[in-house]
Homo-oligomer: A and B are copies of this chain.
């Protein structure tokens, strides 16, 4: 954890930005909720618990900063707000696969990268230099299927 924070600090420093205490709070919240896909407001509420004098604008500005430095990614599940997740190092964000249950809203992460072949093919065919991708699969999760069948 400390290692990660130090890495982020260095990244920001390289761009002439500081990891202030507020920014660190925000970073910690994101780290501790890696699997949760928090919205800006959810981050804000969690940060407030440990640093009550932080403003919502700061959260937005910090998230934007983190996005700029590829410290986090934003995703959109179609519910009208952006959600954010920390980029685990080493993967370059190349594992953004989510199963979204259209009944209960649950989001299941699929962490393997299953698209290598496909990317190679598409990239060649369209002369397109791929930087990143997002795959969202909509459907019904196990629990909801069971509920329906009862």
Contact = CB atoms under 8 A, between A and B. Distances in A.
Contacts of A137: 119, 122, 128, 130, 132-133
Interface in A124-149: 126-142, 145
A57 to B, nearest CB: 17
A5 interface: no
Stoichiometry (number of copies): 2
Instruction: Using C-beta atoms within 8 Å of the partner chain, give the interface range for chain A.
Output: 20 to 34
A76 B78 contact: yes
Interface stretch (A9-17, A19-27, A32-40, A108-116): A108-116
A87 B127 CA distance: 27
A145 B131 CA distance: 13
Interface of A: 74, 76, 78, 97, 99, 101-102, 108, 110, 114-115, 118-119, 121-123, 126-142, 145
